[in-house]
């Protein structure tokens, strides 16, 4: 298992041994890897979609799905497809059962439902709430994967216990959490909020302090499920009345202990994750707002990160070197083992059949198609006390360390540009999905765990302890990753500063500077991980440009000062002109008054003069009367005529001067208006420039601060890098000694296994010999018992014969005694009468009789 955020690489170490072991381990891992299973489930049309046309068709064999994309048929292939009328039972058998069987055999497993909001994820994973408690009837058939999983697990355990008795023991626990707005909450103890994800070499990824309830029956699990569901965040959207606004992860932990005959105790711990993801949605369609909108963008963001992780994993499966950013979201970090790690995983992608949801359906199918290429490396999580398994785990762990160190060194040595994808199909897929994606890809908050404090790290630790060493390595890895992230963030900062500068420069219209900035700006280039040198170079250029910009601003400021002086001069001119105009007005008024006064001073009282007087008086207000209206010259005497002549001339002069003054006034007014306008314009320009200047000053100050901060960071990074290099070298030497130790251990183990093998062989031979001896013994035993039986039979016969013989012997002795007596009697009576002695004769006869008696004969015949 790969233990932390990783670079998947196939490169080996430096020394030959390392390479061999590494290659061997890789081979083992590759041979056990398998792809994620992906199935599609189509839900029935809902009320809103009743009158819409279907856009999906399940192809022959139930593995192809054809989407009608506005007349174009697009075909996708998956492991299984469940049509509209697909049963919950079928989904369980096809999707969940194989995974639970693996979990019971010690593998980790994950089933996760992905799809558009309202497409049936919760229905598939959980089923309607009332179905969970239903004891019978149609509603019970609607139970989703989760309740069926609980029942199946306890049934299987029961069966095994019946078979193996007390030798096996199980402990089952359940945990339930939700990821809501990038925060993990324990659904079984909701007060436990904002929990942290941790990673352990042996345990894998886990959530710290998460409640784990021990369960003994399926009913206990239902209770836990109900409790969690009640605490889960659900809201009504226009797409779904009960829309899950969080990612729900229900985990079943199965611990199995078995006592084996040869005093070995095997312990397996497997984890089954049942994940109901929040639905992807287009805000426009879901018509969300306020809190629901915020939730939606968080959901979309975490699903986007999931998409990126899957893309990177697909690349890694194709042999590319890719960094997998599991830590970019809580969801992906949580699912790390399930995606490309130590677990058997199945994804259920749920879709709507209606053309209304065509875009989301195609997006889901593309996402699912990509997930098919992820390769997981699941292994049995077994620990056997006193076995080689511990050593194997140690080897696996060391393999991870070596891999991390190599990746670290590699990435430090050269930040290689990302390798182009080979597979055209995938490139096409990704391009399409990137352009069509409805997910909110911008403003992604790159959240990452803070590394453990520096003080707690390398120098104070006991580097001889492999476990400590593993922690240190993880810490080093974490620090280096965070360094990279910081560096990337700084680079982004510089990039945005460049952009701002470029905008300002183009707003200022300074072409020369604009060109120079364009030619020096390299920060816009896509750089996955900028090197320290690149950063320094860019920072230097940025500083130079800021200096240039400051100079230009100084020039602008002095230009502005000149303009201001000119403006003030023009203002003064304008003021003078206005004063002049006023003076002229006063003068004109005085002239008019003079004229009227001189006319009014003319003596005489003719009606014409009176009219004239009146007109002139009026003229003081209107100044517009006509000469011909004034007088009827025929009615005037000569004095009056002279006065009239005088007045006429005076009037003509006045009128002329009035017309001239009118023209001058018009001109002056026009000039004044245009001057006022330009004053306004200049004032606005001055204001704008002053504001700009102020903003630029602030910007420059900010940039200076940022650059000095950056410089400090760079210095710190350099120190850190040097320190890190030293530490890595130190760790590498430790790892090398561990490698040697491991090789020694391996040799020892090989030796031991050789010895065990030869012992086994000897035991086998001894056993074989024993078997042969036993067979010989048994056949001899058989022979012996046959012989015994025969002997017994013989003995019986003999006994019978002996009995007869002894009877005969007794009779013979009786006869002998009788004959002895007779002979005695005879010898006593007629001894020496020439009768031959009878005793030897008798003895002979007796012997004969005895011989006869002891000769064996068949009992019956005898």
Ligand X SMILES: Nc1ncnc2c1ncn2[C@@H]1O[C@H](COP(=O)(O)OP(=O)(O)OP(=O)(O)O)[C@@H](O)[C@H]1O
Q: Which of 3, 7, 117, 538 binds ligand X (CB under 6 A)?
A: 117
Count of helix runs (H) and strand runs (E) in the chain:
20, 19
Annotated ligand binding at 119? The verdict is yes
Closest distance to ligand X from the beta carbon of 56 (Å): 13
Question: Is residue 515 near ligand X by the rule CB under 6 A?
Answer: no
First to last CA, the chain: 92
Annotated ligand binding at 829? The verdict is no
Rounded Cα–Cα distance for residues 718 and 715 (Å): 5
Question: Is residue 115 near ligand X by the rule CB under 6 A?
Answer: yes
**Residue 566 is encoded by which pair of tokens?**
């000119």
Question: Is residue 274 near ligand X by the rule CB under 6 A?
Answer: no
Closest distance to ligand X from the beta carbon of 86 (Å): 7
Annotated ligand binding at 737? The verdict is no
Using the contact rule CB under 6 A, the part of the chain among 24-32, 240-248, 579-587, 741-749 near ligand X is 240-248
Closest distance to ligand X from the beta carbon of 441 (Å): 20
Closest distance to ligand X from the beta carbon of 367 (Å): 14
How far does Cα 157 stand from its chain's mean position? 32
Q: Which of 218, 279, 353, 530 binds ligand X (CB under 6 A)?
A: 279
Q: Residue 627: helix, strand or coil by DSSP?
A: helix
Alpha-carbon Rg for the chain in angstroms: 55
C-beta closer to ligand X: residue 90 or 726: 90
Cβ contacts of 402 within 8 Å, gap of 6 or more: 13, 18, 22, 735, 739
- In the chain, how long is the greatest CA-to-CA distance? 260
Site string for ligand X, 339-358 (x = CB under 6 A): -----------x--------
Return the residues of window 742-781 that contact ligand X according to CB under 6 A: none
Q: Which of 102, 244, 246, 592 binds ligand X (CB under 6 A)?
A: 244
Question: Is residue 246 near ligand X by the rule CB under 6 A?
Answer: no
Question: Is residue 240 near ligand X by the rule CB under 6 A?
Answer: yes
Q: Which of 109, 118, 353, 530 binds ligand X (CB under 6 A)?
A: 118
Q: Which of 278, 306, 346, 501 binds ligand X (CB under 6 A)?
A: 278
Annotated ligand binding at 457? The verdict is no
User: Parallel, antiparallel, or unpaired for β 37-42 and 80-82?
Assistant: parallel
User: Parallel, antiparallel, or unpaired for β 37-42 and 382-384?
Assistant: unpaired
Q: Name beta bridge partners: 179.
A: 184, 247
Return the residues of window 24-53 that contact ligand X according to CB under 6 A: 43-44, 46
Q: Which of 9, 119, 304, 342 binds ligand X (CB under 6 A)?
A: 119
With 0-12 / 13-18 / 19 or more C-beta atoms within 10 angstroms meaning exposed / middle / buried, residue 759 is exposed
C-beta closer to ligand X: residue 148 or 421: 148
Do 36 and 317 form a contact (C-beta atoms < 8 A)?
no
Phi, psi of 39 (to 5 degrees): -125, 155
Annotated ligand binding at 570? The verdict is no
Annotated ligand binding at 860? The verdict is no
Do 402 and 735 form a contact (C-beta atoms < 8 A)?
yes
Give the chain's length. 862
User: Parallel, antiparallel, or unpaired for β 344-351 and 265-276?
Assistant: unpaired
Q: Residue 372: helix, strand or coil by DSSP?
A: coil
Do 4 and 315 form a contact (C-beta atoms < 8 A)?
no
Closest distance to ligand X from the beta carbon of 430 (Å): 24
Phi, psi of 218 (to 5 degrees): -55, -35
C-beta closer to ligand X: residue 274 or 278: 278
Closest distance to ligand X from the beta carbon of 460 (Å): 48
Q: How many residues bind ligand X (CB under 6 A)?
A: 19
C-beta closer to ligand X: residue 128 or 662: 128
Cβ contacts of 85 within 8 Å, gap of 6 or more: 44
Closest distance to ligand X from the beta carbon of 46 (Å): 6
Question: Is residue 122 near ligand X by the rule CB under 6 A?
Answer: yes
Q: Which of 242, 434, 465, 580 binds ligand X (CB under 6 A)?
A: 242
Annotated ligand binding at 118? The verdict is yes
Rounded Cα–Cα distance for residues 615 and 622 (Å): 10
Residues at the interface with ligand X (CB under 6 A): 43-44, 46, 115, 117-123, 128, 240, 242-244, 278-279, 350
Please state the residue numbers annotated as binding site: 115-122
Query: Where is the binding site for ATP, in residues?
Result: 115-122
């Amino acid at each position: 298992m790969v233990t932390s955020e990783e670079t998947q690489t196939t490169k080996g170490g430096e020394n030959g041994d390392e390479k061999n072991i590494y290659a061997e381990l890789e081979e083992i891992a590759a041979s056990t890897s398998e792809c994620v299973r992906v199935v599609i489930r189509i839900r029935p049309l809902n009320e809103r979609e009743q009158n819409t046309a279907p856009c999906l068709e399940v192809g022959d064999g139930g593995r192809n799905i054809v989407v009608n994309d506005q007349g174009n048929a697009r075909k996708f292939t998956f492991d299984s497809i469940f049509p509209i009328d697909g049963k919950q039972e079928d989904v369980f058998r096809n999707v969940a059962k194989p995974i639970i069987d693996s979990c019971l055999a010690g593998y980790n497993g994950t089933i996760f439902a992905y799809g558009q909001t309202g497409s049936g994820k919760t229905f598939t994973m959980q089923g309607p709430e009332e179905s969970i408690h239903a004891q019978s009837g149609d509603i019970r058939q609607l139970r989703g994967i989760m309740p069926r999983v609980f029942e199946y697990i306890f049934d299987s355990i029961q069966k095994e216990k019946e078979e193996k008795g007390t030798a096996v023991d199980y402990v089952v626990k359940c945990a339930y959490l939700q990821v809501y707005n990038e925060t993990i909450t324990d659904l079984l103890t909701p007060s436990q909020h904002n929990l942290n994800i941790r990673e352990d070499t042996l345990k894998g990824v886990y959530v710290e302090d998460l409640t784990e309830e021990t369960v003994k029956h399926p009913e206990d699990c239902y209770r836990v499920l109900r409790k969690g569901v009640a605490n889960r965040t659900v809201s009504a959207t226009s797409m779904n009345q009960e829309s899950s606004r969080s990612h729900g992860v229900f985990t079943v932990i199965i611990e199995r202990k078995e006592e084996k005959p040869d005093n070995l105790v095997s312990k397996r711990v497997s984890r089954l994750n049942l994940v109901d993801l929040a639905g992807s949605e287009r805000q426009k369609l879901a018509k969300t707002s306020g809190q629901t909108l915020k939730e939606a963008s968080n959901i979309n963001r975490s699903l986007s990160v999931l998409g990126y992780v899957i893309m990177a994993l697909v690349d890694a499966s194709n042999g590319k070197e890719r960094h997998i950013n599991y830590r970019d979201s809580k969801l992906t970090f949580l699912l790390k083992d399930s995606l490309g790690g130590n677990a058997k995983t199945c994804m259920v992608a749920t879709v709507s059949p209606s053309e209304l949801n065509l875009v989301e359906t195609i997006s889901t199918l593309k996402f699912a198609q990509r997930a098919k290429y992820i390769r997981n490396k699941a292994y049995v999580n077994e620990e056997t006390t006193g076995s080689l398994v511990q050593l194997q785990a140690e080897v696996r762990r060391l393999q991870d360390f070596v891999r991390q160190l190599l990746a670290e060194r590699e990435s430090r040595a050269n930040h290689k540009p990302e390798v182009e994808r080979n597979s055209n199909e995938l490139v096409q897929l990704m391009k399409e999905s990137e352009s069509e994606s409805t997910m909110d890809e911008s403003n992604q908050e790159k959240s990452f765990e803070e590394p453990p404090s520096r003080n707690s790290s390398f120098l104070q630790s006991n580097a001889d302890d492999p476990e400590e060493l593993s922690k240190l390595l993880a810490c080093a890895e974490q620090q280096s990753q965070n360094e990279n992230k910081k560096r990337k963030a700084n680079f982004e900062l510089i990039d945005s500063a460049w952009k701002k500068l470029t905008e300002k420069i183009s707003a200022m219209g300074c072409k020369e500077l604009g060109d120079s900035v364009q030619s020096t700006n390299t920060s816009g280039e896509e750089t996955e991980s900028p090197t320290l040198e690149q950063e320094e170079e860019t920072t230097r250029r940025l500083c130079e440009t800021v200096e240039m910009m400051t100079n230009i601003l100084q020039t602008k400021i002095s230009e502005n000062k000149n303009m201001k002086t000119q403006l003030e001069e023009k203002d003064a001119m304008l003021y003078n002109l206005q004063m002049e105009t006023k003076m002229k007005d006063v003068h004109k008024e005085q002239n008019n008054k003079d004229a009227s006064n001189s006319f009014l001073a003319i003596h005489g009282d003719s009606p014409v003069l009176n009219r004239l007087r009146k007109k002139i008086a009026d003229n003081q207000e209107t100044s517009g009367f006509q000469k011909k209206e004034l007088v009827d010259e025929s009615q005037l005497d000569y004095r009056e005529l002279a006065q009239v002549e005088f007045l006429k001339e005076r009037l003509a002069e006045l009128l002329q001067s009035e017309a001239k003054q009118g023209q001058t006034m018009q001109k002056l007014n026009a000039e004044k208006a245009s001057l006022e306008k330009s004053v306004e314009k200049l004032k606005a320009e001055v204001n704008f420039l002053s504001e700009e200047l102020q903003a630029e000053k602030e910007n420059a100050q900010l940039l200076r601060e940022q650059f000095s901060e950056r410089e400090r960071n760079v210095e710190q990074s350099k120190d850190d890098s040097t320190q890190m290099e030293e530490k890595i070298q130190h760790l590498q030497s430790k790892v090398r000694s561990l490698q040697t130790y491991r090789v020694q251990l391996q040799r020892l183990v090989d030796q031991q296994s050789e010895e065990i093998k030869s012992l086994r062989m000897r035991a086998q031979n001894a056993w074989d010999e024993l078997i042969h001896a036993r067979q010989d013994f048994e056949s001899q035993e058989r022979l012996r018992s046959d012989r015994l039986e025969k002997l017994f039979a013989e003995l019986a016969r003999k006994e019978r014969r002996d009995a007869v013989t002894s009877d005969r012997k007794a009779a013979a002795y009786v006869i002998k005694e009788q004959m002895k007596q007779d002979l005695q009697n005879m010898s006593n009576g007629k001894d020496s009468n020439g009768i031959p002695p009878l005793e030897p004769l008798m003895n002979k006869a007796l012997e004969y009789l005895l011989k006869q008696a002891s000769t064996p004969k068949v009992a019956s015949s005898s």
